[in-house]
Structure 1
Amino acid sequence: MNGAKSLLQDLDDAIARGTDESRTRALWHATDLLITGRYVDDEISMFGEVIGRLSEEIEVVARVQLSELMAACDHAPLNVVAQLALDDEIAVAGPVLRDSERLDEKMLVESAMTKGQSHLLAIAQRKIIGEAVTDVLVKRGDQEVVTSVAKNEGARFSGSGLLHMVRRAEGDSILAEQLGLRKDVPRHIFQQLISKASEDVRRRLESERPEMMAQIQSSVSDVTGDLQSKFGPSSRSYFVAKRVVTTQYRQGNLNQDSISNYARQHRLDEVQIGLSLLSALPVDVIERAMMDRNREILLVLCKALDFSWDTTMSLLFLGAKDHLITARELHDNERAFGRLKIETSRSVLKFYQSRKNSAGADPAQGRQPELQVH
């Protein structure tokens, strides 16, 4: 380390008293040393200080070359990579935005929030993109950016990010098709997508995703009848579901993830029984909350159980007619959910519990457990 430190100090001295030409030579010398060697973090930081200072004074062509070298370097100094990523010239920023593994989500989000569409497009082409970054891309990006990130198999999307893309896909057949071809799009999001897509897009997706289309047709048929008679306690499937979920609850394995998974699979019995156990409310109350067009009770229930918005959204879709919710309604529900306070929601839930307990529990339900506080 002492040898590298001494060499970097010599380079630093050369920067202070050298010419433009000597500084450029010093830059490439330091860059070559960095790329070809192996150093500890402190040494890499020292290289970063020197290269960072030198790169501020070089022309665009040289910065482009530096960016290409840093993008391929798995131990590139973080300050240099960040400096290049935020360069206004896309020719400079592009290589590191697309390829550098040294850029973390915070750096990528900063670039996506502050730079132009060319920078966003470069980010959209990365091998792996996290939800925090795609959330920005789908909101700020133009058609080319959003279509590019929809094609990117390494991109991961949050529930709100996917819904934003569904809204943007209205009238955009290319984006609608690319989004519909993604294997990670949940069924309820896919259903929202095809409900707004053109006939041509629906036909192509039916050809490309026959299994998803078949599931949707089946689920739509399932909810068109009388839900109470089909899914009520008298059905055999209900008792099977009750046995499975109750066992899961007694073993301590019933939680938000369980409910979310059941909801995404449109397993209404399991969802209603699970919510009943977690909230200490009878199943008929849960069923009314799920199916009521006024979603306030369901939102309060989810907030009281400290569920995430993604889980809550899955439950809203499950209880909605034909599993469809307008973008405006979903936005209003998300805002209402965000305004709810956990403690207030739990107080409301305890009030419902006390009313049901004083009225007497349904004998078929048995003794209800206490409210689960997470």
Structure 2
Amino acid sequence: MPESIPPAGDLSEVLTQTLKSRTFLIQRLSDVVCWPATRVPAHERELAADVLVGLLRTASLDLRERCATRLALIVDAPKMLLRYLARDDISVAQPLLENSPAFDESDLIATIRGGVRAHWLAIANRRHVPALVCEALIGTGEMTVIQTLLRNTGAKLSYGAVESAVAQSREAVQLTALIARRSETSPAQALTMFWWSEHEIRIHILRRFAVDRAVLCEELGDLFKMAATEDWADADTRKAIALLERRQRNRAAAARSPFGSLENAISAGAHGIDRQLIDEISYLSGIRPQTGVKIMSDRGGEGMAVLCKATGLKRDSLRGLWTGLRRPIQDAEDQTTPFGRVQYVYDLLSTAKAQTVLRYWNWSLSSGLSAGELETLDPDDGELEFLPARRAAALVFGRRN
């Protein structure tokens, strides 16, 4: 046996010493990295961090966990070491991702792109989550992560993040309650999400987002006369003003209708309301047929309560509309039955607030769109970003995955 090769017993002792020295070296370097700037120059600290990263690659899980736990308390932790440990096993990365103040937005976004669900979840649990990081987390499409983020009051959701969450809630209705309660959610987003939300969430949306348009109507009231003198020549102006008009029913449609009034049209459907009569009721209500069909075919039926309240119809007409559409009535006063819930919505809303909701739906679901166009709209079309009415229609009517 060559003299350069130590005996087996000596090899074991050398290995033990090597592992011990590695452990001490990692611990000492961790100390240096965690020292304040007053004790160690920045360039030496960065050098120590670079060496430490090389050692941690083959270090035990316990050593990596201890290093990460200490580093989580450091405000100006070296970036490369921070990013490296942030992508380690979740037991190593979690204290950093949840608590470290040294991460900036780019660090967290890079970790999201290179991480997995456990890492995303840890970031979603941070005390403060910046807007761009929220967008990246919601963009993962991971429901557990999105739900955690939406529950986090320290998360700052951007408009784009809420838009993405609303779009995903079409297939994941468990998100609707969380989105509806976020302060960043806009009335337009909530009233669009209404269509695939459960009854309790619909009630919350109507309570919070059904508002009066008194200020807008007062400020823009003189424009109605101005547009009328121009014979409503500008289509975009006509559509915008229609959203703000106080009078809901269409008097011109009533004058042309064989029924003469909205009440008579509903009474005529006592034995069944067909598509032609739905169109007539829609015109008399001041909305387009696409909107009327959506309201009357909706599974929950709460939209019918909004329609009846906005147009000044009485409870009897609401009941007549309900039965004319072949929907059964059990106990009208029992809010656990479909009609009982619809009647509760009717009583909940004032006429002015119901008009705001109905006019928004009509503007967003049918403004400038034909029935054929509604079927081809794609919510993921980037060109719809600054076309709110078309985007809302795409979410409600467009194709799903």
TM bucket by the smaller chain? 0.5 to 0.7
**Matched residue, 1:262:** none
The correspondence for 2:362, drawn from 300, 307, 321, is 321
**Matched residue, 1:160:** 160
Tell me the CA shift for residue 167 of structure 1. 2.4
Q: 1:187 to 1:49 in 2, by over 3 A?
A: same
Partner SS, residue 156 of structure 1: coil
**Matched residue, 1:249:** none
Tell me the CA shift for residue 110 of structure 1. 2.0
Tell me the CA shift for residue 28 of structure 1. 1.0
Residues 105 and 132 in structure 1, CA contact (< 8 A), matched pair in contact too: yes
Q: 1:114 to 1:146 in 2, by over 3 A?
A: same
Higher share of residues assigned helix: 1
Residues 71 and 95 in structure 1, CA contact (< 8 A), matched pair in contact too: yes
1:335 aligns with 2:383: yes
Partner SS, residue 233 of structure 1: helix
**Matched residue, 1:201:** 201
Tell me the CA shift for residue 120 of structure 1. 0.9
Structure 2 portions without partners, runs of 5+: 1-16, 243-358, 367-373, 387-401
Partner SS, residue 81 of structure 1: helix
Partner SS, residue 331 of structure 1: coil
Residues 29 and 49 in structure 2, CA contact (< 8 A), matched pair in contact too: no
**Matched residue, 2:71:** 70
CA RMSD of aligned residues (A): 3.8
Tell me the CA shift for residue 284 of structure 1. 4.5
Q: How many angstroms apart in 2 are the aligned matches of 1:132 and 1:92?
A: 24
Q: Could you list the per-position Cα deviations for residues 45-92 of structure 1 after superposition, in whole angstroms to 9, with x for gaps in the alignment?
A: 1221232222222111221121111111112111110001122x1111
Q: How many angstroms apart in 2 are the aligned matches of 1:159 and 1:327?
A: 26
**Matched residue, 2:93:** 93
Partner SS, residue 128 of structure 1: coil
Give 1 or 2 for the bigger CA radius of gyration: 2
**Matched residue, 2:26:** 27
Residues 30 and 47 in structure 1, CA contact (< 8 A), matched pair in contact too: yes
Q: Could you list the per-position Cα deviations for residues 179-228 of structure 1 after superposition, in whole angstroms to 9, with x for gaps in the alignment?
A: 1111122221222233321102223x26xx84x2342xx35x999xxx9x
TM-score, normalised by the number of residues in structure 2: 0.51
The correspondence for 1:287, drawn from 210, 216, 237, is 237
Partner SS, residue 185 of structure 2: coil
Q: How many angstroms apart in 2 are the aligned matches of 1:131 and 1:78?
A: 21
Number of equivalences: 240
Tell me the CA shift for residue 329 of structure 1. 4.2
Q: 1:283 to 1:86 in 2, by over 3 A?
A: farther
Q: How many angstroms apart in 2 are the aligned matches of 1:283 and 1:21?
A: 86
Partner SS, residue 184 of structure 2: coil
Counterpart residue type for residue 150 of structure 1: L
Q: How many angstroms apart in 1 are the aligned matches of 2:223 and 2:45?
A: 66
Q: How many angstroms apart in 2 are the aligned matches of 1:336 and 1:184?
A: 20
Tell me the CA shift for residue 337 of structure 1. 6.6
> What percentage of residue pairs aligned between the two structures are identical?
20
Residues 192 and 324 in structure 1, CA contact (< 8 A), matched pair in contact too: no
